[in-house]
Amino acid sequence: MRLTGKSEPLVRAEVMRFAEKNANLPKKDLIKRCIEEAASSGKIPKRQADACIKALKGRLLKCYAGKQTENRGGHVKGYPLRFEEPTCFAGRMTKAASWKDLTGTIRPNKQWLNGWPRLIFVSDMGDALSAGVQFDYLKREIIEVCASPKGKRHIWLWVTKRPARMAEFSEWLLEQGIQWPDNLVAMTTVTSEKTISRVADLRRVKCRLRGLSVEPLWSAVKLPLEGINWVIVGGESGSGAEPFHLGWARAIRAQCRQAGVAFFMKQLGRSPIDSDQELKLRDAHGDDWAEWPEDLRVREMPTAF
């Protein structure tokens, strides 16, 4: 059940009222408490409130990093106590920079990467551009590492949901006479038309390479591709995954071809639909392209890399 109809404004009103009194509570607990009180006071029928709580919990656990933190946070090294509370772990990128250089290597199981340098995701289990992370820390832990002799051997993919802050950071670097490393790809996520505005913010980042992670894709989108080098597309995986219409991916592939942008089909997700027919795949993530329609077996790398 979704928070729609009469229940949504009631729940939002309760959230605002509770937020003032219980600002110390984590967001997920705050929302749950609001719904529970609304139900107990008779403002929302209990059955409807229970469905809302279940839906909210499902939303929290849709995020892969959120799931991992729920299971490991506080007792496994490298995970924050709570997902919504950014925690810095200094030195992790320095360690990754020491990994073996894969340039020129043949990779039988990932032929699209043959000959390419190693690709490393930056802060793949969180967002390094969360408001509480200082620019000095990002300069030291990310920029200086990518620009180091060891770091230059790899290509680093920095994905954020906060491209506006990434643009601010790039301006901050320039003010200090520091250039954005050419091997650091600035990227943001787009999941539907509601998040398209992030692309304009990404284009403001003072860098050489930019990419879009269009995953999970929840609806058809028209991407503004000027200044973009790479588009990665994928359906949602995991329990409760939203349907992924392959027509959406084909449309983006056509947009990329017209704009001269590399297109990378990552996965079909758990619930792919082709021509109104659900595809039954053995792979739960839908990333075994032997099961895909042949026209979507496309994994291009930007020549600019």
Q: Encode pLDDT of 9-23 as tens digits.
A: 555 555 555 555 555
The rounded percent of the chain whose pLDDT value lies above 90 is: 57
**Cβ–Cβ under 8 Å, residues 114 and 103:** no
Q: Where are the domains of the chain?
A: 7-60, 100-296
Q: Encode pLDDT of 144-187 as tens digits.
A: 999 999 999 999 999 999 999 999 999 999 999 999 999 999 99
- The reported pLDDT for the residue numbered 1 is 34
- The reported pLDDT for the residue numbered 2 is 39
Instruction: Collapse the DSSP code of 201 into the 3-class scheme (helix H, G, I; strand E, B; otherwise coil) and give the result.
Output: helix
> DSSP for 154-189?
SEEEEEES-HHHHHHHHHHHHHTT-PPPTTEEEEEE
Lowest mean pLDDT among 102-106, 108-112, 220-224: 108-112
What average pLDDT does the segment 238-263 reach? Answer: 93
SS3 helix, strand, coil % of the chain, rounded to 5? 40, 15, 50
What average pLDDT does the segment 2-6 reach? Answer: 43
Q: Name the pTM for this structure.
A: 0.78
- The reported pLDDT for the residue numbered 150 is 98
Rounded to a whole number of angstroms, the CA Rg of the chain reads 21
- The reported pLDDT for the residue numbered 170 is 98
**Cβ–Cβ under 8 Å, residues 84 and 27:** yes
Is 220's pLDDT higher than 50?
yes
What average pLDDT does the segment 225-238 reach? Answer: 93
* Widest pairwise Cα distance in the chain: 66
Q: Peptide bond preceding 163: is omega within 30 degrees of 0, i.e. cis? A: no
